[in-house]
Structure 1
Amino acid sequence: MLSDLQVKNFALIDQVNINFKQGLNILSGETGAGKSIIIGALDLLLGARASTDVIRTAKDAAYISAFFQPSELEIINDILAEAGVEKEQNGILIAREIKANGRNRTLINGQLATLRMVRKISRYLIDIHGQHEHQLLLDQASHLMILDAFIGSEIEALQEFIKENYAKYQALNKELTEIDIDDAERVRELDILNFQIDEIEKAGLKPGEYQALKEKYQSLSHGEEIYQNTTEVLNAISGDDYSSQGLLDRMAVLKNKLESLKDYNKNLAKLNKSFADIYYSLEEFSFELGDYCSSFNYDEEELSLIADRLDLLNSLFRKYGDSVEEILDYLAEVKAKKKKLENIEEKIAQIKEEKNELKNILTKKAEKLSEVRKERAGEFETKLSNELQDLAMEDVRFELSFQKKELGENGIDRVEFLISPNKGEELRPLSKIASGGEISRIMLALKTITAGLDQVDTLVFDEVDSGVGGETAARMAEKLVNISKNRQIICITHLPQIATAGSHHYLIKKEKGKNRTYTHIHSLAEQQRVEEIARMIGGTKMTEKTIAHAEEMLDMAAKEYTAVKMSKSKN
């Protein structure tokens, strides 16, 4: 429900804070007091187009915020999470700031949001009925949903079957679109795939070979330098045919001299051991270096073959991947794609057959669903017409228009509500009705027969009592009370019959200050409520009779509507 509404610097409102309650909330006041301002503020908050004209004179910005505690909080939080808006555990806070410089802001739970996001979640929060655009039930797309909800469990299994299997049907359509290509294109694609497969397979790639080839190429391409330098080092250490002594020979002499001194003291023994270790390490190194020099083989032909192989691999890298492993993975993908294309005709035939079978089943189910809808449509029309006649629309005609459409997740029906409010007028779409009062009464009638079917917690009725009075007003009040058992109702009214039915009463009053006019809203205590009802009965001049009449009406309403609630709960 709508718990709190704050409006600041909006039209004649300096600042008001309203704490709405569960049940039937009544807003009343003299003509021109600013009752429509509240509706306008809510309308703007929930996504209507903003104009700087709404900003109170001499102020920089108008501000509206509302805190909702919806029953569908989990659904709303899921929607907000997809948009990156953090959820609140206790409710939803929506705020909108209209600035004179045009830099307006919308916030959800204190975070910047778009009006589109606000509109998306508002359908779960509030439904405003009056002379404005925010009317969920006037959306023709919702008419089928309303009828189906009215029919109820009788069609639930059919609806679920159609929705579930239509999703499968759509998936088959998508798969068919993705693979259904003409023969010429398929041949061209197969030629490309065959060329790629042949080129990669002919290369005979082996994992890890590229790095090994690079290392070998590096070695062979510097073969002369490697052989010359390693041989020179080896000769310097071990000696050669032209030198009687190498480094090892000279070190051997020095090693023997140190060894002859090792017994004289510990330091000399330690130094002798260190030198001997160096000598033997060098000797071991000379053996290894000699083996390397003996086995080193510089082959220009092998170098050329390795260079060619590296060129081939680099060419494949540019086409198919950054490594041998990636190219082999790509080869597997290409082979799978080739196999799919080679079997495409068989696959297409299989999908088409499956799709046609599923469509035939879905069509039969959708036709059955359509039959039930049309059978129950008469009952829906009768009930709504009766409710409207109770609401001073005696000559009303109401019908459901059925049109066949392409098979979809809701079947094959397009439903639209048609209405003729007055005798002699032709039936027209509900969305074309011009009178705000008629719209509100139609909405009230719809809500009466479909109470509890939608997901909106709060209903706002503006001018719901336009053009009615007496017994009709009393019946209208009864309907509002009945709906308010399960929904929060906010009703702007000028009729005492409706005002006395309220659970809570707020007075909207225009007051003149020294230099400005202000609109204020007050929650009425018991005696204040009597006085407001008396004003609604007799105008600004209250008498003892109007006061007594007001008290009597409130007393009768308390008894009557308590009885109504008890009677409805028993049923």
Structure 2
Amino acid sequence: MLSDLQVKNFALIDQVNINFKKGLNILSGETGAGKSIIIGALDLLLGARANTDVIRTAKDAAYISAFFQPSELEIINNILDEAGVEKEQNGILIAREIKENGRNRTLINGQLATLRMVKKISRYLIDIHGQHEHQLLLDQSSHLMILDAFIGSEIKELKNDIKDNYAKYQVLKRELAEIDIDDSERVRELDILNFQIDEIEKANLQIGEYQSLKEKYQSLSHGEEIYQNTSEVLNALSGDDYSEQGLLDRMAILKSKLESLKEYNKKLAELNQNFADIYYNLEEFIFELGDYCSSFNYDEEELALTADRLDLLNSLFRKYGDGVEEILEYLAELQEKRKKLENIEEKIAQIKQEKNELKNILLKKAEKLSELRKKQAGEFEAKLKAELQDLAMEDVKFELSFQKKDLGESGIDRVEFLISPNKGEELRPLTKIASGGEISRIMLALKTITAGLDQVDTLIFDEVDSGVGGETAARMAEKLAYISKDRQIICITHLPQIATAGSHHYLIKKEKGKNRTYTHIYALDEQQRIEEIARMIGGTKMTDKTIAHAKEMLDMAAEELYS
């Protein structure tokens, strides 16, 4: 249930804190006092579009927060867990800040959250019904949903089964639409695929070859320079036919001279060793350089072949991917696509068979679901009619009209509420003929017969008594009291008959300060409640008679509704 509500700098409200309780909570006050501001604040808190107009004049931001203690807290906490939002063990705190600069914030349990997340969990927290929310009844597409909610668990498993299978059916339809192409288009696609595959396969690409080819091309394209310079260095180091000694030979002599001195002291021994290392390293270098020079082969034909291979690879890179590995991956994709196109007729036949089989299964299940709905429709009609008759619509006739529609995730039924509010009138669609007062009574009747089926702990009725009075209002009060035995009800009303049925009563009052107007909310004690009921009965002029009448109404309500 909704335990605490705090509203700050919102419309005419400077700051209010309300502690709602179990049972039927009544909100009353004079017209224009700001009763619907509370509902507007809750509506914004639970995800409605924010507008800076709601911020109190001269303030930078409006703030709304509410603490809920729902029976479905475990389900809500699982949703929060999946979203990475902190959870609480004894309830859930939702807050929203609407700022003048547009940087609004929403928090769940003190952690930043999205409005989408708030909307997702709000279905388990609160259900608001007011003049605007009556549009649900005026939307014919919602009538099937209302009937299914009444039937409840008996069709839940079958509905979920149809929904899941219909999703699979839609996947098959999309897959079929993607591959079901005409023969000429398939031939064109195959021609393109074959050309691309053939071009890549003929290249016989090898991983790592591109870098190797680039190095080879660099060597071959500078072959003359490489051979001349390396030969010159080799000759200088090792000697040639025209030189008696190369550098290595001269170093050998110097090495011998140093070696003859190594015994004289430690430093000479160290210098000798260092020079010997240089000598042997140079000797090894000369061997390697000699091998390179003797094996180096500059071939113009090989250079041309290498250049052609590089051109081919670069051409393939431009067409099919950045690098050999990427092209080979693309080749695998092309081959798989070709395989599918070559076997497309077989695949189409397979999918069509699966789709038709699944559709037949769905139609059988949908027919069964339709039978169950029609079987329960009579009980729904009878119960709703009885509730409406109890709400002073004695001559009402009410029926469900079933029409067949195309298969969908909810089955094959299109349901519409038909009503005749007055004697002698034929049944017509509710969406076309019901008045505001009748819609209010139908909504309350629906909530009465489905009170035990909702997952929501808190129901809010914003002037659901619009357009009614007298005995009808008294009957409405009984219905609200009945629903509040299992649910928390918050009801904004202007009728004393309904106000007396409340187990808790709050007065919303507009008061003028020195320079501002404020809306305040007061929890009424027994005497204050009597005075408020008297005001609702007789207006601002209260007499001993209206006070006595108010007390009598409260006593009767306590005895008849809660004894």
Output the TM-score relative to the length of structure 2: 0.87
Cα separation, 1, equivalents of 2:60 and 2:278: 89
Say whether 1:522 aligns with 2:522.
Answer: yes
Using the TM superposition, give the Cα deviation of residue 549 of structure 1 relative to its aligned residue in structure 2, in angstroms. Answer: 4.6
1:429-508 equivalences in 2 (<5 Å): 429-432=429-432, 435-466=435-466, 468=468, 471-508=471-508
**CA distance in structure 1 between the partners assigned to 2:185 and 2:350 by the alignment:** 21
Alignment of 1:268-287 (within 5 A): 268-287=268-287
Distance in 1 (CA, whole Å) between partners of 2:433 and 2:463 is 15
Contact residue 138 and residue 431 of structure 2 kept, 8 A: yes
Task: Determine the structure 1 residue equivalent to 2:406.
Answer: 406
CA distance in 2, matches of 1:435, 1:104: 41
Residue 219 of structure 2 corresponds to which residue in structure 1? 219
- The residue aligned with 1:365 is 365
Q: Structure 1 pair 385/522, CA: closer, same or farther in 2 (3 Å)? A: same
Query: Which amino acid counterpart does residue 303 of structure 1 have in structure 2?
Result: L
Structure 1 residues 550 and 225: CA distance shift in structure 2, 3 A: same
Q: How far apart in 1 are the matches of 2:326 and 2:17?
A: 66
Deviation of the 1:263 alpha carbon? 3.4
**Cα deviations by residue, 1:100-120 (Å, 9 ceiling, x for unpaired):** x9x595745488988887766
Which stretch shifts more, 540-549 or 400-409?
540-549
Q: Mark the CA change 1:300 to 1:346 in structure 2 (over 3 Å): closer, same or farther.
A: same
Does the CA contact (< 8 Å) of 1:507 and 1:521 recur in 2? yes
DSSP 3-state at the match of 1:395: coil
Q: Would you say 1:392 and 2:407 are equivalent positions? A: no
- For the structure 1 residues 75 and 428, does the alpha-carbon distance in structure 2 shift closer, same or farther, using more than 3 Å as the test? farther
1:105 and 1:112 in contact (8 A); partners too: no
What is the aligned partner in structure 2 of residue 344 from structure 1? 344
Q: How does 1:258-269 map to 2 (within 5 A)?
A: 258-269=258-269
Superposed displacement of residue 439, structure 1: 2.2
Deviations 1:279-298 (A, max 9, x none): 23322322232222222221
Could you say if the C-alpha distance between residues 30 and 423 of structure 1 is closer, same or farther in structure 2, counting changes exceeding 3 Å? Answer: farther
Q: Does 1:93 align with 2:73?
A: no
After TM superposition, give the deviation of residue 97 of structure 1 in Å. Answer: 3.9
Q: Secondary structure at the match of 1:459?
A: strand
In the alignment, the residues of structure 2 paired with residue 530 and residue 343 of structure 1 have an alpha-carbon distance, to the nearest angstrom, of 83
What SS does structure 2 have at the residue aligned with 1:261?
A: coil
Instruction: Judge which range, 159-168 or 266-275, deviates more.
Output: 266-275
1:66-98 Cα deviation digits (max 9, x unpaired): 41524556766788899x895664425253648
Kindly state the Cα deviation for residue 275 of structure 1 after the two structures are TM-superposed: 2.6
Give the equivalent residue in structure 2 for 1:316.
316
State the partner residue of 1:131: 131
Q: Which moved more, 1:438-447 or 1:4-13?
A: 4-13
Q: Could you tell me how far 1:265 is from its partner in structure 2?
A: 3.2
Match of 2:249 in 1: 249
Question: What letter corresponds to residue 226 of structure 1 in structure 2?
Answer: I
Aligned: 1:194 with 2:183: no
Question: Does structure 2 conserve the Cα–Cα contact (< 8 Å) formed by 1:396 and 1:423?
Answer: yes
Assess if the C-alpha contact under 8 Å between 2:217 and 2:307 holds in 1: yes
Distance 1:409 1:529, change over 3 A: same
Structure 1 residues 167 and 47: CA distance shift in structure 2, 3 A: closer
**Contact preservation (8 Å) 2:66, 2:94:** yes
CA distance 1:138–1:180, shift in 2 (3 Å): same
What residue is the counterpart of 1:306 in the other structure?
Answer: 306
Matched position secondary structure for 1:402? strand
Contact conserved, 2:26 with 2:490, CA < 8 A, in 1? yes
Deviation at 1:187, TM superposition (A): 0.6
User: Given the superposition, is the C-alpha separation of residues 17 and 33 from structure 1 closer, same or farther in structure 2, using an over 3 Å criterion?
Assistant: same
Instruction: Give secondary structure in 1 for the equivalent of 2:131.
Output: coil
Give the residue type in structure 2 aligned to 1:323: G
Q: How does 1:40-119 map to 2 (within 5 A)?
A: 40-42=40-42, 59=58, 63=62, 65-69=64-68, 70-72=70-72, 86=85, 89=88, 90-95=91-96, 97=98, 105=104, 107-109=106-108
Counterpart-to-counterpart distance in 1, 2:236 and 2:103: 87
User: Do the aligned residues in 2 keep the contact of 1:235 with 1:246 (CA within 8 Å)?
Assistant: yes
Partner deviation per Cα, 1:153-210 (whole Å, 9 max, x = no partner): 3333432332222122111111111211111111111011111111111112222222
Q: How far has the Cα of 1:413 moved from its partner?
A: 0.8
Q: What residue is the counterpart of 1:23 in the other structure?
A: 23
The 1:217–1:49 alpha-carbon spacing in structure 2 relative to 1, beyond 3 Å, is closer
Residues 400 and 294 of structure 1: is their aligned pair in 2 closer, same or farther, counting only changes over 3 Å? same
Residue type of the alignment partner of 1:175: E
- Alpha-carbon spacing, 1:395–1:87, altered in 2? closer, same or farther (3 Å): farther
> Which amino acid in structure 1 is aligned with residue 416 of structure 2?
E
- Relative to structure 1, the CA distance from residue 307 to residue 399 in structure 2 (aligned partners, 3 Å threshold; closer, same or farther) is same
The 3-state SS of whatever aligns with 1:242 is coil
**Count of aligned residue pairs for this structure pair:** 559
Structure 1: which 5+ residue stretches go unaligned?
564-571
Q: Name the residue aligned to 1:415.
A: 415
Contact 2:530 2:550 in 1 (8 A): yes
Task: From the superposition, tell whether residues 258 and 536 of structure 1 become closer, same or farther in structure 2 (CA, over 3 Å).
Answer: closer
Aligned to 2:326: 326
Alpha-carbon distance in structure 2 between the residues aligned to 1:557 and 1:91: 34
Aligned equivalent of 2:532: 532
Offset at residue 149 of structure 1 (A):
2.5
CA distance, structure 2, for counterparts of residue 107 and residue 214 of structure 1: 59
Query: C-alpha displacement at 1:526, in angstroms?
Result: 2.3
Q: Percent identity?
A: 82
Give 1:352 shift: 0.8
Q: CA deviation at 1:444?
A: 0.8
Q: Relative to structure 1, is the Cα distance of residues 311 and 512 closer, same or farther in structure 2, using a 3 angstrom cutoff?
A: closer
Partner secondary structure for residue 152 of structure 2 = helix
Following the alignment from structure 2 to structure 1, what is the Cα–Cα distance between the partners of residues 43 and 201?
A: 68
Residues in 1 aligned to 2:119 and 2:295: alpha-carbon distance in whole angstroms = 82
C-alpha distance 296-437 of structure 1, shift in aligned 2 (>3 A): same
The AA in structure 2 aligned to 1:393 is: M
Distance 1:53 1:434 in 2: 34
Q: Does the aligned pair in 2 maintain the 1:392–1:468 contact within 8 Å?
A: no
Change over 3 Å in CA distance of 1:289–1:326 after alignment to 2: same
1:44, distance to aligned residue in structure 2 (A)? 5.8
Unaligned runs of 5+ residues in structure 2 are none
Q: Secondary structure of the equivalent of 1:380?
A: helix
Structure 1 counterpart of 2:493, one-letter code: T
Cα distance in structure 2, aligned partners of 1:98 and 1:432:
41
Q: Residues 522 and 85 from structure 1, CA distance in 2 versus in 1: closer, same or farther, beyond 3 angstroms?
A: farther
- Say if 1:448 and 1:479, in contact at 8 Å, map to a contact too: yes
* Rounded Cα–Cα distance in structure 2 between residues aligned with 1:167 and 1:374: 25
Q: Does 1:160 pair with 2:156?
A: no
Offset of residue 508 of structure 1 = 2.3
Q: CA 1:455–1:559 in structure 2 vs 1: closer, same or farther (change >3 Å)?
A: same
Q: Which segment is superposed worse, 399-408 or 381-390? A: 399-408
Corresponding residue for 2:233?
233
CA contact (8 A) 1:389 1:396 kept: yes
Report the AA paired with residue 158 of structure 1.
L
| Aligned mates of 1:76, 1:469 — CA distance in 2 | 39
**Contact 1:495/1:536 (8 A) holds in 2:** yes
How many Å apart are 1:51 and its aligned residue? 7.6
